[in-house]
Amino acid sequence: MSEPLLRLGGLGKSFGTNLVFSGVDLDVMPGDRIAILGASGSGKSTLLRCINALETPDEGLVKINGTPLLKADGKGRLRSTERDLCALRQRVGMVFQQFNLFPHMTVAGNVAEGLVTVRGMSSGKALERAQAELERVGLGDKGDAYPSRLSGGQKQRVAIARALAMDPEILLFDEPTSALDPALVGEVLGVIEQLANEGRTMILVTHEIGFAYHVATRVVFVAEHGIYETGTPEEVLKHPARPLTQQFLADHQRFQF
């Protein structure tokens, strides 16, 4: 068996006396598409943010291709160097619930900014790359527009283009459709599905259960301060084995018709 692209080992996080999760172990192989589901407050987004050190885990480690880039000492202190953290964040891209675009920059400028400031690419080359990524997400005609002129779905597609421009090995999506009008959800999910079909490795926190069923290769259900149940979409979403998973899915399917 090949080395996991991403390995979480014993990851734990608390906020004061509030335990969010502990002992989280997860291997992500190249090309895996992992959907993380769970009730509100179960720690899904915090887990995602710990993977690339936007939140500091209290314990555990994160390995990329066998190299530990994020290490916590069990007391909430990181033992990683700034160089390790920089390498981790460049290799693991993040798309947030809120789009986090710079309002004073054009769409192309937003996508190009990381290439210039982090990668040291020339402005001209960065803008060329930005345009290519905007074309990929169906916004090739919006490079000179400002975020205020875009719909929510378009803003989120710009955020995806920005993440792609950095050539990440893994993409993290933190409920990327939760801030969108229902009419705009499909355009963002369509881009994510396109990336899945390209073989991108991704971890997606979502409430879009139908999308998870059709696109994910594995589903992780988070409850009781950790990974509660995991398996294929067929196993977890069609035939859940554990009571909290069953209850969660029953609640979400209650008003379907």
Q: What is the pLDDT of residues 94-153, one digit of tens each?
A: 999 888 899 999 999 999 999 999 999 999 999 999 999 999 999 999 999 999 999 999
CATH of the domain at 231: 3.40.50.300
Q: For residues 207-219, give the mean pLDDT.
A: 94
* Domain-embedded: residue 131: yes
* Domain-embedded: residue 189: yes
Q: What is the DSSP letter of 15?
A: E
Our count of domains for the chain comes to: 1
Q: What is the pLDDT of residues 221-252, one digit of tens each?
A: 999 999 999 999 999 999 999 999 999 999 88
* 75 pLDDT above the threshold of 80: no
Position of tokens 């050539």? 167
CA distance 28 to 176: 20
pLDDT of residue 179: 83
Q: What pairing do the DSSP bridges indicate for beta strands 18-28 and 33-38? A: unpaired
CA distance 6 to 114: 23
How many alpha carbons lie under 13 Å from residue 120 in its C-beta half-sphere? 0
Residue-wise burial string across 162-174, b where 16 or more C-beta atoms lie within 10 A, e elsewhere: bbbbbebebbbbb
pLDDT of residue 241: 96
* Domain-embedded: residue 44: yes
How many alpha carbons lie under 13 Å from residue 59 in its C-beta half-sphere? 12
* Domain-embedded: residue 72: yes
Mean pLDDT of the residues in the chain: 93
Q: For residues 177-198, give the mean pLDDT.
A: 92
Inter-residue contact 159 to 130 (CB < 8 Å): no
Q: What pairing do the DSSP bridges indicate for beta strands 226-231 and 218-223? A: antiparallel
pLDDT of residue 257: 53
* Domain-embedded: residue 33: yes
* Domain-embedded: residue 218: yes
Q: Which domain holds residue 123?
A: 6-252
Q: For residues 79-103, give the mean pLDDT.
A: 90
* Domain-embedded: residue 1: no
Amino acid at 126: A
CA distance 156 to 131: 16
Could you tell me which residue, 7 or 83, shows the higher pLDDT? 7
Q: What is the pLDDT of residues 34-54, one digit of tens each?
A: 999 999 999 999 999 999 889
CA distance 212 to 204: 8
